[in-house]
Structure 1
Amino acid sequence: MIYSLENSIIKITASTQGAELHSITGKKEGTQYLWNGDSKYWKYHSPILFPIVGNLVGSKYRIDENIYELPSHGFGRISDFKFVSQTNDSITFELKYSEDTMKIYPYKFSLFVNYKIEENVVKVTYNVKNLDNKDITFSIGAHPAFMCPIEKNEKIEDYYLEFNEKETSDRMEITKEGYFSHKRKEALNDTDIMVLSKELFKDDALVFDDLKSDKITIKSKNHEKSVSVEFKGFPYMGIWAPKGGAPFLCIEPWFGHADYEDFTGEFKEKEGSVLLTSGHEFKYSYKISIIE
């Protein structure tokens, strides 16, 4: 089911399917900032990555010597969430463990996803609660896709990313199988600007683990419309568009990432994973803001 929130500046819609944000619309001109989900390119809008981010080697992982299997990015994005509550400016969904989830992810948990709007900002909050009598391990991440170009008469080469700090950073190299290789490639050299092009994503996503910035803005050379993602506290950042080009761009703050190609350890040993003790909760937010 689709739910909506709006104020005088912005309107959003979100679904119980995956607790996924479906649209962000500026009400001044009716500009759509979130990707429309055209399956010709990519059928999602802003999936939630849980309890893994990216790919597992062989799609398998190990907990206490038992082997489990998960699809890329986990099951959160393809699960039915429960509608919890709605106010004038926020809406909350919940995914709770079940017999089915325990077969592929052997932990008792509850994941709450909250969307809150204030003026031109959408605040997205993830709250994972450990309902088990033992520690649980997970990764979680955002995968919002934004229209790029925003206007129909533009192309991706008219756009650039603006970081809120000058960056010198190498990206984590991804193999053809979608794992990390331990190698790095130069990506940012004392700059706060990344010029966009189709060629930029020929080797898959650009993934960073050492950015100083906590805000990235998609901007055009032709007008003032923009969309920003503020991700304070998230240790990993993925920037992605499909190989060969598509009219959208993803800015993805993560806790965790895909396996290294040689990883053979237990899930709790996986770099970037969150270890949450019994009875405790993990709560983090990121913000999307639009300028119309």
Structure 2
Amino acid sequence: MQATIHNEFLTLTVDTLGAEAVSLKNAAGEELLWQADPAVWKRHAPILFPWTGKLPGGTFTHGGKTYKGGQHGFARDLEHTLLRAEGDTIELELRSDDAIKAERFPFDFVLTSTFRLEGKTVHHTLTVANPETAAEELRFGIGYHPAFRIPFDASHTTTDYEFRFDQPESPMILDAYPNGLLTGRCGYRWKNVSAIPLTDDLFANDSFCMAGLRTRTLGIYEKDTGRHIVCNVEGYPYSLIWSAPAKPVRFVCIEPWQSLPGAENDPQAWTERAAAACLAPGQHWATTLSTTFER
């Protein structure tokens, strides 16, 4: 099922499968999100929960049981309950149930996804709660993965675009090549730059996971016109940029994460792994991605 909200600038459609934004159009009716061509990449803007990236061995253990887990968790693959779609807001919820706890993740949780339009900005808030009735703490990772259509129109090509920070940066790149797990290596690809040029080969070795950015915003800009899509990444310890290896580039992702992928030498026990947060029963936690569309 899908729900749609709009204001004078934007029309947003969200699917209850994955609580995923599947369409965002501007006032001219131009589609701003990647439209999930399965020959290139089959998603639009998935939610990453209860972990980001991959798990070592594709598994974790808890209470003497081993659980299999694919990339980026499972929230993006499950049906969420639509709580409301009215005015400028869409709100959805995913609750753990017996099947999830038995097969995927043995912890109680409530994940609420709230989309709100404000002018040319979409605010997407993810709230995680550990119910008061839970038997143990809730440890989780979480992140965003929106894909934006590139080029903005038929008169532009890949190299007409660049990622921009709002101040010079020397991003520390955390290495996860070639299998998507952190290797423990890190280094610099760019030093003291305000922009990263987009090319068709930029993501030949997958994404760039940037740690410790000082910038408040990270956006994709059309160099000759100034049209842009900008994410507020302030408060996120990690920001990734990525696109599928298809040429020419058809979309770019700007991905603020509150947690990291697994490392090659991570323990199997879930309780020993790094997390975005650990919630005692009755506690909750929230994060918001605000994205502004000036095009």
Where do 1:1-292 residues align within 5 Å? 1-27=1-27, 29-103=28-102, 104-131=104-131, 132-245=134-247, 246-292=249-295
Q: CA deviation at 1:64?
A: 4.0
Q: Distance in 1 between matches of 2:163 and 2:235?
A: 20
Q: CA deviation at 1:203?
A: 1.3
Q: Distance in 1 between matches of 2:216 and 2:63?
A: 36
SS at match of 1:58: helix
Q: TM-score, normalised by structure 1?
A: 0.96
Q: Deviations over 1:150-202 (max 9, x none)?
A: 11232211100111121112211112211111112322211111111122111
Q: Distance in 2 between matches of 1:187 and 1:30?
A: 37
Q: Distance in 2 between matches of 1:226 and 1:95?
A: 32
SS at match of 1:162: strand
Q: Name whichever structure is richer in strand by fraction.
A: 1
Structure 2 residue identity aligned to 1:46? A
Q: CA deviation at 1:125?
A: 0.2
Q: CA deviation at 1:238?
A: 1.1
Q: Deviations over 1:216-242 (max 9, x none)?
A: 111012323211111222211111011
Q: Distance in 2 between matches of 1:91 and 1:178?
A: 33
Q: CA deviation at 1:65?
A: 4.2
SS at match of 1:102: helix
SS at match of 1:100: helix
Q: Distance in 2 between matches of 1:34 and 1:234?
A: 22
Larger mean Cα displacement after TM superposition, 86-95 or 179-188: 179-188
Instruction: Give the gaps of 5 or more residues in structure 1.
Output: none
Q: TM-score, normalised by structure 2?
A: 0.95
Q: CA deviation at 1:123?
A: 0.2
Q: CA deviation at 1:213?
A: 1.3
Q: Distance in 2 between matches of 1:203 and 1:261?
A: 18
Q: Distance in 1 between matches of 2:137 and 2:26?
A: 42
Describe the shift of the 1:156–1:53 C-alpha distance in structure 2 as closer, same or farther (beyond 3 A): same
SS at match of 2:184: strand
Q: Distance in 1 between matches of 2:152 and 2:99?
A: 40
Larger mean Cα displacement after TM superposition, 86-95 or 60-69: 60-69
Q: Distance in 1 between matches of 2:147 and 2:267?
A: 32
Q: Percent identity?
A: 26
Q: Distance in 1 between matches of 2:13 and 2:71?
A: 25
Q: Distance in 2 between matches of 1:149 and 1:264?
A: 42
Q: Distance in 1 between matches of 2:43 and 2:163?
A: 22
Q: Deviations over 1:76-96 (max 9, x none)?
A: 000000000122100100000
Q: Is the CA contact 1:202–1:244 (under 8 Å) kept in the aligned structure 2?
A: no
Q: Deviations over 1:236-272 (max 9, x none)?
A: 1111011243300000011112111121253233234
Instruction: Give the gaps of 5 or more residues in structure 2.
Output: none
* Alignment coverage as a number of residue pairs: 291
Q: Is the CA contact 1:33–1:227 (under 8 Å) kept in the aligned structure 2?
A: no
Structure 2 residue identity aligned to 1:54? G
RMSD, aligned α-carbons: 1.4
Larger mean Cα displacement after TM superposition, 65-74 or 7-16: 65-74
Q: Is the CA contact 2:15–2:22 (under 8 Å) kept in the aligned structure 1?
A: yes
